[in-house]
């Protein structure tokens, strides 16, 4: 069986380091925030080349607090994509603002900057570009529009730890950025966690306060408060894993290059990578008009695959009140019916990647025999 990821194997490789890091947390009793979270925040800000990082309890909370810190709320509109994980839109709705979903680029599956101007209204306050699958969004035109129109940019970097756009790290380009450390992400906690990064000290201070019940000093609550703190144990685990992420990202990129080469004669379109970016391959996604039979074929051959995401957010029942219908975002809808994510993790061997590629190529030639 070739699985998507192998978290137990990843743990075994860093077992001693993890126990060494979590023991002082347990000995100190600093289980909510505390020294290990503070250390991780310093480490992660440096990694993202951002001035501030604030640890929270999930990527969704990170998006929510980033929007609140920027003053987004009822009556505001936030432009983003529908081809994303549901959390991007959920976070907008938590603030009371209205998500305005625009279409993506057919090659990168990322927010198409050419669609932004036509979606702007007098109520537009922010843009959330999502660095989907680990490939950075084309940020220059987005930042240019945002500056000219007075909009805040919140990067959804939940799939893009260490990804780079023109030499700049995701998490340091927009006004704020949200990261997820859900276990399956490129940098995963041993449970739920997330962070906001920013170069703006005022935003960072507000988020530090809001994640901890809006306290400015103990039992004085000046801002809306949430219980969105990061666990001390997660901070300790994440600092350990951060030491390895560059090696793991290198392995992800190497395995992606193997797939590119092994599938070069296949009818499945490999990821289209833009020049001047460092794609971190949270997902390796191929495109095919035979997605369902291909997935079935892989399952029969004991190979995991995934669909990210089968129903775009604008067509989800929970958001029916926004008034979207089938055909509104044709590039998104086409992608949602054609994308298939293949197993790709730092732990996969050359033989495993070859076996997956061979299985895809056998599917493609099955009619020829």
Ligand X SMILES: *Cc1c(COP(=O)(O)O)cnc(C)c1O
The footprint of ligand X (CB under 6 A) covers: 58-60, 84-85, 87-88, 130, 156, 158-159, 180, 182, 194
In the complex, which residue's CB is closest to ligand X? 59
Over the Cα atoms of the chain, what is R_g? Answer: 21
Contacts of 311 (CB under 8 A, 6+ apart): 336
Helices 291-300 and 350-364, axial angle in degrees (round to 10): 130
Nearer to ligand X, 92 or 263 (CB): 92
Distance (Å, whole) CA 191 – CA 183 = 6
Specify the 3-state DSSP secondary structure of 56. Answer: strand
What is the residue whose two structure tokens read 């126990």? 19
CA 158 to mean position of chain CA atoms: 2
Distance (Å, whole) CA 153 – CA 144 = 11
- The tokens describing 170, both together, are 């995701």
Nearer to ligand X, 109 or 268 (CB): 109
Task: Give the residue among 92, 149, 144 at the shortest CA–CA distance from 119.
Answer: 149
Q: In the bound complex, what is the minimum distance in angstroms from residue 185's beta carbon to ligand X?
A: 6
Nearer to ligand X, 139 or 360 (CB): 139
- The tokens describing 104, both together, are 């993506």
Nearer to ligand X, 187 or 360 (CB): 187
Strand order in the sheet with 277-278: 168-169, 164-165, 277-278
Contact yes or no for 123/96 (Cβ under 8 A): no
Specify the 3-state DSSP secondary structure of 165. Answer: strand
What is the residue whose two structure tokens read 């929510």? 64
What is the residue whose two structure tokens read 């305005």? 100
Specify the 3-state DSSP secondary structure of 276. Answer: coil
CA atoms 92, 168, 257, 195: torsion sign? negative
Nearer to ligand X, 112 or 352 (CB): 112
Distance (Å, whole) CA 68 – CA 302 = 45
- Angstrom CA distances, 48 to 141, 336, 356, stand at 21, 30, 33
CB neighbourhood size of 75 (10 A): 10
Task: Give the residue among 234, 346, 249 at the shortest CA–CA distance from 9.
Answer: 346
């Amino acid at each position: 069986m070739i699985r998507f990821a192998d978290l137990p194997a990843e743990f075994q490789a860093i077992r001693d380091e993890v126990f060494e890091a979590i023991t002082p947390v347990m000995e100190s009793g600093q289980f909510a925030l505390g020294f290990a979270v503070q250390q991780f925040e310093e480490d992660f800000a440096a990694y993202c080349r951002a001035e501030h990082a604030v640890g929270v309890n999930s990527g969704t909370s990170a998006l929510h607090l980033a929007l609140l810190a920027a003053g987004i709320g009822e009556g505001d509109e936030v432009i983003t994509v529908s081809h994303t994980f549901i959390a991007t839109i959920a976070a907008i709705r938590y603030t009371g603002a209205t998500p305005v979903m625009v279409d993506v680029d057919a090659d990168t599956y990322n927010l198409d900057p050419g669609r932004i101007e036509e979606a702007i209204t007098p109520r537009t306050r922010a843009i959330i570009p999502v660095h989907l699958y680990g490939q950075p969004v084309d940020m220059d035109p987005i930042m240019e529009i945002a500056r000219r129109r007075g909009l805040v940019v919140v990067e959804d970097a939940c799939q893009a730890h260490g990804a780079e756009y023109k030499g700049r790290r995701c998490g340091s380009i927009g006004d704020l950025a949200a990261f997820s450390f859900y276990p399956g992400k490129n940098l995963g906690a041993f449970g739920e966690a997330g962070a906001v990064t920013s170069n703006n000290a005022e935003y960072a201070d507000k988020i530090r306060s809001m994640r901890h019940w809006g306290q400015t000093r103990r039992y004085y609550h000046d801002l809306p408060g949430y219980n969105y703190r990061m666990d001390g144990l997660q901070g300790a685990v994440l600092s350990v894993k951060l030491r390895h992420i560059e090696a793991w990202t290198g392995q992800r990129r190497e395995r992606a290059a193997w797939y590119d080469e092994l599938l070069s004669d296949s009818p499945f379109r490999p990821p289209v990578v833009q020049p001047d970016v460092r794609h971190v391959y949270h997902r390796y996604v191929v495109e095919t008009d035979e997605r369902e039979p291909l997935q079935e074929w892989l399952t029969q051959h004991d190979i995991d695959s995934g669909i990210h995401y089968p129903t775009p957010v604008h067509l989800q029942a929970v958001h029916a009140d926004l008034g979207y219908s089938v055909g509104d975002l044709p590039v998104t809808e086409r992608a949602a019916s054609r994308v298939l994510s293949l197993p790709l993790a730092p732990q996969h061997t050359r033989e495993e990647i070859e076996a997956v590629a061979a299985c895809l190529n056998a599917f493609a030639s099955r009619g020829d025999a």
